[in-house]
Amino acid sequence: MKNIITIGGSNSKNSINKILAEYTGSLLNNVQLSKIDLNDFELPLFSVDVENEQGFSEGLKKLNTIIDEADGFIISLAEHNGAYSVAFKNAFDWLSRIEGKVWRDKPMLLLATSPGERGGETALNIALGRFPYMGGNIIGSMSFPSFFENFKEDEITNAELKATHLKLVNKFQNAI
Ligand SMILES: Cc1cc2nc3c(=O)[nH]c(=O)nc-3n(C[C@H](O)[C@H](O)[C@H](O)COP(=O)(O)O)c2cc1C
């Protein structure tokens, strides 16, 4: 059984990106889901000085091992001021110090959502441009607009978005 990691690219307790990533994972068949909450990994704020003085934290090593053991990723990025959230960027920077190919060429479904109409598209585009240089094997991507209007009671309520999302899920299922 494939081990698929879901990651909400945020440290909000009620992260809508975590919700979307986990919902997406729940639609896959015959997989074991490992649901990552970035709050569960102790990671200091990255700096080269902290790295030199303290090395890699236990939390970072744990996260890196989880990524190593994964068969694929479903990531949904939060957008803060047109970029990754600090929590995601911090984890990403730390992980890149252990292994430049952070995503190990494993299949990835890349999402982003926000309460706004653009659905985190700017952060998504940053990742689409960067992840391929970091071992990102992006099978499909989607920005999911106006989360609270289009996702209710654990379901995508907008028929068009639901169909687009399901196509992506099927494409990812075939890739893993
Ligand atoms: C500091 C800050 C900056 C934000 N900037 C953006 C933005 O650039 N674009 C956007 O669509 N939403 C923005 N938002 C709203 C977030 O999309 C919203 O808080 C969302 O819930 C974040 O995802 P999360 O729930 O997974 O943490 C911002 C929120 C904060 C707190």
Residue 123: its pLDDT value, please? Answer: 98
| Closest residue to atom 2 of ligand 1, CA basis | 80
Distance of alpha carbon 170 from alpha carbon 37, whole angstroms: 24
- Residue 167: which CATH number? 3.40.50.360
pTM score, two decimals?
Answer: 0.97
Any idea what DSSP says for residue 8?
E
Distance of alpha carbon 156 from alpha carbon 173, whole angstroms: 19
Q: Which of 17, 80, 81 to mutate to test the pocket of ligand 1 (most atoms within 8 A of CB)?
A: 80
The residue ranges of DSSP E strands in 53-156, in sequence order, are 72-77, 79-80, 83-84, 107-113, 137-144, 151-152, 155-156
φ/ψ of residue 58, rounded to 5: -60, -40
Query: Do 108 and 122 contact (CB within 8 A), yes or no?
Result: no
Structural domain that includes position 139 = 2-175
Residue 83: its pLDDT value, please? Answer: 98
* Mean pLDDT, the chain cut into blocks of 10 residues (176 residues total): 97 98 98 97 98 98 98 98 98 98 98 98 98 98 98 97 98 98
Any idea what DSSP says for residue 15?
-
List the one residue out of 47, 31, 37 whose CA is nearest residue 8.
37
Residue 14: its pLDDT value, please? Answer: 97
Domain count, the chain: 1
List the one residue out of 127, 121, 67 whose CA is nearest residue 98.
67
Q: Which of 35, 79, 147 to mutate to test the pocket of ligand 1 (most atoms within 8 A of CB)?
A: 79
Any idea what DSSP says for residue 46?
P
